[in-house]
Amino acid sequence: MRWLIPAAGLAALTGCNVSSEFLQRMEHQAKYEYYEASSFWADGRAMRTPPAGTVPRERFDKLPELKDPAQRQAALTGRSAGQPVAHVPVTVDQDLLTLGQKKYNIVCSQCHGVLGDGNSIVAENMALRLPPSLLDLEGKPDGHFYVAINEGYGVMPSFSGELDLRERWAVVAYVRALQTARNTRTDGQQPVPQENR
């Protein structure tokens, strides 16, 4: 008798023929696009004004050192006057680097490797294009890495949904720490220049 219940469950699962449309119904549900008209609201607009007291995701109160609007815009986009910013625009301290290490290991290391050298299991199985070694890009400005995280780069998608404003800059600061660590010698000798490696 004890085998009857598991057998009935197994029979129900094997006989289940669920269409992929049912499983993917979120993709096919009705929705409004930006600036689309709506008959549901009295003003005819689908886009709604956020309720009073709501807080945007890109909060600057996590970055109190950014008071100037130009600084805030550069921190948000990673660009100043159309060019990638040269340096991380927030205070780089141990807390920021610890946060950067944590977020890098969660979001970035699967492709770029724990050391930033582009060696990972995921990278080994990429067919289109291997992720670059971040260690070889030390000549790029800090904004280059931020823009890649924020907007995506090549086949890499944007990770702005996974990382908030402070976390993106924390990852950039941590990438710089990885690059510095690679070029630091413990034997007192000067590091080997990139072009001679």
pLDDT of residue 26: 57
Residue 73 pLDDT:
84
List pLDDT tens digits, range 21-46.
555 665 666 777 778 898 888 999 88
Query: Would you say domain 94-187 falls under CATH 1.10.760.10?
Result: yes
Mean pLDDT along residues 141-149: 96
Which pLDDT tens digit goes with each residue over 46-98? 888 878 877 666 666 567 677 778 888 888 889 998 899 999 988 899 999 99
Residue ranges per structural domain of the chain: 94-187
**Cα gap 115→182, rounded to integer Å:** 9
Burial 69-101 (b: 16+ CB within 10 A, else e): eebbebbbbbbbeeebbeebbbebeeebeebbb
108 three-state secondary structure = helix
* pTM, rounded to two decimals: 0.66
Phi, psi of 171 (to 5 degrees): -65, -40
- Read off φ and ψ for residue 88, nearest 5 degrees: -55, 125
